[in-house]
Every structure is written in structure tokens, then in C-alpha cells.
A = this chain, B = another copy of it.
């Protein structure tokens, strides 16, 4: 997805938040903002927002000497999600259309995003969100694909959301599941360590995409990932960052996310905060 003009102030706001997460030094925060503005000047050279955002957050890491500024936040979010997990499991058991709700639980996990929602922190919030229906739901196509599929690749998003994904993966455990995470810490996105801490290794093979952007950018991914990505029977892409990186991709993908910003909502032709499970199959140009 192209970078919209609206993304420019938004990414700058996010990097300021990250700088404060990483350091108390006003001086370093200023330097981070100044270097981020330099990156912003070149926004047209980036194909999508995750590419640009990666470079901004690299500035945070470089200037603070912290490899993982969101480490505490991620641990907190995983802990919170684990506490919610029994409720989610129970919620799913009570439903007739289990697949729909397993997908919906995974999509709901997308609200565990400190970069956007800082006030989602109670079981009640989750209950409310999980009860909201998808506004786009290509579950019929998905069920059709499942009939012949053997393996599924899931592209992970935020730490904490990983635990919600575990509920979906458990439900799909008759398939061979691969779960791809970021190659290195970036904002609050899940890394290998976060995925293991979320207990995903019990039901899936966890791999790194090779890419350290907050969204899969294919030309930054490693060969192992690309081979799995290109050959997977089904690919489920979680969250906005992966959508931004892959919305122009020509392999068929199911995007599973909450539209948390107006630009993504517009691109998907839904309303802000809608939940989406959308099958994308672009025509070869």
C-alpha cells in the first residue's frame, strides 16, 4: 500500500512515543525526532509505510542503544493476553460456528497494539470487541481452500496478539501451520522470543521472515521465508503492517485485521475500527 499523506504526521507521532518509551533524555528524544524528520523528507522513495517506519525506529535503537525499546510493553501485553486466553477458549467452545469465531478471536487480538490503543487493558474490552462481527468476511472462500490445503502460513503481527492467534492455530491444528515473525524487534511486533513466550511453538513451526520492518516487505525477506510464502496452500496475514506491505502482492492472501486507521479503512472500503477477513487475489498485470 502506498504511503498516504496522512501517514506522515502519524508515523512521526509514533516515533516520538517510541523515543519516550526508550529514553528519558529529552536531548536524545529531540535527536530522534530530527533524524526521523530527515527520513520523512524522503517518504516518496519508500514503497510502503513499514519500510519507512523501520528506518525511523532504527534511529530510536541507534540513539538509545536499546535493541528492543518495547520489550517491557510486549511482556506486559503477552501476560495480559495469556490471562484472557481461558476466557477466549471457553468463548469459542460455546459457539456453533467455531471457525468464524476462531478467526474473530485472532482478529480481535489485533487490538493489543500499544502503538495505537493504549487503553485496551481489561477483559471487558476484549469481550466487547470479540462480540463484534466482521464487516468483510470471506470465510466461504477460506472453507473451500481448507478442503484441499495441507499447510497454512500465518504472518504474525503484535506481541500479545500472538496469544489470540494461538487460539486460532489450535483450532486449525489438523493443518501444518507455520507462523512467521519479525527478524528483529520493531515497535511492539512479535519476534521469535515473543512467539515462544506466547506458547505458539506448541502448535506451529515458528520462523523469522528475515524482515525487520513492522510489516512483511518481500524484498527484505529471507529465502526460507519466501519459499514457504510462495508455496503455502493458504497465507493468512495478520494486522495493518503486513497489509501495507502485501496489499499489492500477487499471491493470494487472506488479510485478517482490525482497520485501526482511516487510511487502511479507506483502502479496504470499510469503516474505521471494522474487523476484516478478506481474501485478496490480484490479477497478474
Residues of A in contact with B (beta carbons under 8 Å apart): 5-6, 8-10, 12-13, 16, 19, 29-30, 33-34, 37-38, 40-41
Contacts and interface: CB of A to CB of B under 8 A. Distances in A.
The prevalent SS among residues of A at the interface is: helix
B6 A9 contact: no
A19 B9 CA distance: 14
15 contacts: A5-B16, A5-B19, A5-B29, A5-B30, A6-B13, A8-B12, A9-B9, A9-B10, A9-B12, A10-B13, A12-B12, A34-B41, A37-B41, A38-B41, A40-B40
Contact of A16 (B8, B29, B30, B34): B8
A88 to B, nearest CB: 34
List the 3 closest pairs (A to B, CB-CB), nearest first: A9-B13, A9-B12, A9-B9
A34 B45 CA distance: 13
A7 to B, nearest CB: 10
A41 B42 CA distance: 13
A152 B68 CA distance: 56
Contacts of A19: 5
A263 to B, nearest CB: 12
Given A5-B29, A37-B37, A37-B40, 5 more contacts: A5-B19, A6-B16, A9-B10, A10-B13, A12-B12
